[in-house]
Amino acid sequence: MWSDVAALFREYMGTGLIVIWYILCLVYLWMNEKRKHLRILFLYMPVILLLLYFNPVFYRLVYAVVEREIYYRILWLLPMTVVIAYTCICIYGRMAGSGERRAKVFALCAAGVIMVSGSFVYSSPFFSRAENIYHVPDTVVDICDAINVPGREVMAAFPLELVQYVRQYSPVTCMPYGRETTVDRWNYYHPLRDEMEAEVIEMEKLVPLSREYHCHYVIFRPDTKVRGKPEDYGWVRFGEVDGYTIYRDMEVELIIPDLG
C-alpha cells in the first residue's frame, strides 16, 4: 500500500519542477512571512496535509472506504498555485523597491520557469478549448441534442475522445462505458469499448455487443473503417454531425413514457 501512495504522489508531481518551486516558495515564506494567518494557510496547513497523506494509519483508513484512484485527490488541497503566485509577488515587491528593472527581469524569469515546468494541456486528446458555455466540444452538444428523446434516457456508444464530455453535458444520454475506460493505467476492460476502438470495426462483432448493452445509438468517428454494412444488421443512418456518423439500432426498443 505504501508503494501505491508513493506512486500516486510521483504521478501527481508530473515532471517534478512545479513541486520543486513550491518547496522553495515554502522555505522562502517560512523565513520571511510574519503574518500568522498566512503562515497557517500557506505553511502549517500544507505540512499537516502531507503528514496525513503519508501517514500509514490515515491512508489505510481512507483506502478502506475509497478506491486507490480517489486517494490522490487529497493532494488537490495543497495550495501550490496560490503559494507560488504569492511568493513571486512578494519577491517582486521587494525587488521593485530597490530597482524596477531587476523586478521586471525577475517577473519575466518567474513566468518562464512556471511555463516550462508544466505541459500543454491541449496536447491531450481528452482536453479541448471551450467552444460554448458548457465547456465541452460543440460536436458533443450537437450529437446529444440530436439523439435526445424528451421524457426518457437513451443509451449511446461514443468514440473514446467524446466520452468524458458527454457525461458533463447531458444527464439523459447514458453510455455503456465511461471515463474509467480512457485512463490506461486503470486497465479497465470493456468489450464494446475495445470493439469501438478497433482499427477496423467488425459489424458482426459490434452489433451483438451494442445490443447486449442496449445501445439505441452508436456513433462512428469520421475516419472509422467498418467491415460490413450497418444497414444489413437493422441499423439506420440517423444523421451526421461534424463528420461523426450516428446510427440508430431499430431492434433496440426505444420506449417513450406517457408523461400526460
Which pLDDT does position 122 carry in this prediction? 74
Name the DSSP letter for residue 198: S
| The predicted structure's pLDDT at residue 232 | 93
Instruction: Tell me the per-residue pLDDT of 137-165, one tens digit each, with 9 for 90 and over.
Output: 899 999 999 999 888 889 999 998 899 89
Question: Tens digit of pLDDT for each residue in 28-52?
Answer: 999 998 899 999 999 999 889 988 8
pLDDT at 256 over 60: no
DSSP-derived pairing of the beta strands 201-202 and 226-227: parallel
pLDDT computed for residue 185 by the predictor: 61
Summarised one tens digit per residue, pLDDT across range 77-125 is 888 889 999 999 998 888 887 777 888 888 888 888 888 777 777 777 6
The conformation of residue 224, written as its DSSP 8-state character, comes to: -
Q: What is the pLDDT of residue 257?
A: 44
**What angle do the packed helices 138-147 and 160-169 form, to 10 degrees?**
70
Cα separation, 5 vs 75, in Å, equals 11
Greater confidence, 180 or 166? 166
pTM: 0.62
From residue 234, alpha-carbon distances to 29, 75, 252 in Å are 67, 50, 10
Q: For 223-246, write each residue's pLDDT tens digit.
A: 889 999 999 999 999 999 999 999
pLDDT tens digits, 52-75: 888 888 888 887 777 666 787 888
pLDDT at 216: 94
Task: For the chain, give the mean pLDDT.
Answer: 85
* pLDDT confidence of residue 110: 86
DSSP 165-183: HHHHH-SSEE-SS-GGGT-
